[in-house]
Amino acid sequence: MDDKYREANRPATYAAANRDIIRPLLTPTVMWVAAFVLATAAMVYGGYCWYLQITWGMGVAGIKHPTFWGVYIVTFVFWVGIGHAGTLISAILYLVRSRWRTGVYRASEAMTIFAVMTALLFPALHLGRVWQMYWFFPYPNQRELWMNFKSPLMWDVFAISTYFTISSVFFYVGLVPDMAIVRDHSTGLVKRIYNILALGWRGTNKQWHSYMAAYGFFAAFAAPLVLSVHSVVSWDFAMSNTAGWHSTLFPPYFVAGAIFSGCAMVITLLMPMSYLFKWHDYVNTWHYESLAKMCLLTSGILTYSYFMEYFIAWYSQNPYEQYIFYWRTVGEQWWIFATMVVCNCIIPLVWYKKAWRQNHVILFVVSIFVNIGMWFERLNIVASSTSRSFDPSTWDLYWPTVVEWGILLGSAGWFSFWFLLFAKTLPGVAITEIKEMVEPPVKGSLEG
């Protein structure tokens, strides 16, 4: 890695880091307003489509016999996967003291929270009768009815709820000292609001002592969630006796896919943010290249997994398993499989060339392809196995309706709405941790 990128990540003083990072806050630009209006419009349209579904019933969606898991489950898995990179960067890279994490982890964590908030909409959308959502959760009731804790769907409720709660707490705790910085650079009502959000933080020795201890424990708690959450999501599929799903390969395959798509999404979100906010000293090629390397590693694992699925189907001599993988490749919806392979296995290969891995245009364009490819991967898994189940008399093709496409668009709007709000109200780069990369001011020496 070129030293100029590492050094560029160091502001001259603590005060310079404060000034640079909080400068774009609370001052909406034309670009930001345009993006915010667009995101809100998409969100409102998605809400309208949901209203249509609630009014007219699930018939307006394309999910019907034999495919009852369609775009809603596909998009649920997609958004949960997006969230994983944030936790990987904020927790695992914190525990291994990775230095490039500092510039990108705050925005990645925010991405995690908003991606999981988006994913959480989809069980409700998929349920149809959204007013009965509370049935998901264990609560004492007069009928003494409890949910089945042996079901992977129930495990998923616990996994996603825990993931969302711990990620939110971790995100908020990390923000507390930074919100105190915004407070002390503000006046009037804004100062009072940030003081409440920062819980009156003053950076005393007592506060830092317990804060740092707690932060380490949060990282230690969040780290295994990176691996467990998408493993549990994969069991929604792998624990069922459905051809194309029933495989022990699924947990590592899903986790690798989640990190792959999440790291690509961090590039997609942070690159324009860094350009617009002039944060090149804090988020730059060093970070994008490190993320691209993570993508290359996980793309390799995915490619191996795709190949291994076919090998297992052949080696198992199971005709149902063999047929589903044959049909995914050359059946009516072969192009879903082809899009997945091109976007996830072939296009990212350009990042093996260092110059292209450091080219911002190529980085951004490839990251978009990865996001598209990962959505198609989930569509390839979800829709195919139920379209071609064990009994040929039930076979039918699944394709989303306008309402489902509208809700998919709305989910992107909902995610962007929150991310844009975050970008303008909270420090998008972790100021306190950036300061830790600055040489402390000393008169003599710290060597005692």
Partner 1 sequence: MSTASGTQIKGVYAHLDCLLTGIDDLKSAGITGWTVQAPLPRHEIEEAIYEGRPSPVRWWTLIGAVTGLTVGFLLPSLTHAQWPMINPGGKPVVSLPTFAVIMFECTILIGGLATFAGMIVHTGLPSLGLPKILQDPRVVDDKFTISFIGAPASQRERIEELLKGSGAVEVTHGADAIYEVPNA
Q: Judge whether 67 and 151 are in contact, CB under 8 Å.
A: no
Q: Per rule CB under 8 A, is residue 95 in the interface with partner 1?
A: no
We find the least distance from the C-beta atom of residue 211 to partner 1, in angstroms, to be: 6
Q: Per rule CB under 8 A, is residue 218 in the interface with partner 1?
A: yes
Q: Judge whether 267 and 316 are in contact, CB under 8 Å.
A: no
Q: Which residues of 247-272 are buried (b: 16+ CB within 10 A; e: fewer)?
A: beebbbbbbbbbbbbbbbbbbbbbbe
Burial class of residue 308, CB neighbours in 10 A (0-12, 13-18, 19+): middle
Contacts of partner 1 in 18-37 (CB under 8 A): 18
Q: Per rule CB under 8 A, is residue 195 in the interface with partner 1?
A: yes
Residue type, 303: T
User: At 67, phi and psi to the nearest 5?
Assistant: -105, 100
Q: Per rule CB under 8 A, is residue 207 in the interface with partner 1?
A: yes
We find the least distance from the C-beta atom of residue 297 to partner 1, in angstroms, to be: 26
Nearer to partner 1, 100 or 211 (CB): 211
CA angle 149/84/197 to nearest 5° reads: 95
Nearer to partner 1, 117 or 184 (CB): 184
Nearer to partner 1, 65 or 206 (CB): 206
Residue type, 131: W
Q: Per rule CB under 8 A, is residue 200 in the interface with partner 1?
A: yes
Interatomic CA distance for residues 275 and 296, integer angstroms? 24
We find the least distance from the C-beta atom of residue 215 to partner 1, in angstroms, to be: 8
Nearer to partner 1, 64 or 209 (CB): 209
Residues with Cβ within 8 Å of residue 331, at least 6 apart in sequence: 384, 388
Binding piece for partner 1, criterion CB under 8 A, among 198-206, 249-257, 270-278, 334-342: 198-206
**What is the pattern of x (binds partner 1, CB under 8 A) and - over residues 124-153?**
--------------x-----xxx-xxxx--
We find the least distance from the C-beta atom of residue 432 to partner 1, in angstroms, to be: 5
Torsion angle in degrees (nearest 10) through CA of 389, 394, 399, 405: -90
Q: Per rule CB under 8 A, is residue 436 in the interface with partner 1?
A: yes
Q: Judge whether 48 and 388 are in contact, CB under 8 Å.
A: no
Binding piece for partner 1, criterion CB under 8 A, among 97-105, 204-212, 274-282, 343-351: 204-212
Interatomic CA distance for residues 408 and 278, integer angstroms? 32
Q: Per rule CB under 8 A, is residue 211 in the interface with partner 1?
A: yes
In the complex, the residues that contact partner 1 under the rule CB under 8 A are 13-15, 18, 138, 144-146, 148-151, 154-155, 158-159, 161-162, 165-166, 169, 173, 176-177, 180-181, 184-185, 187, 195-196, 199-214, 217-218, 221-222, 224-225, 228, 232, 432, 435-436, 440-446
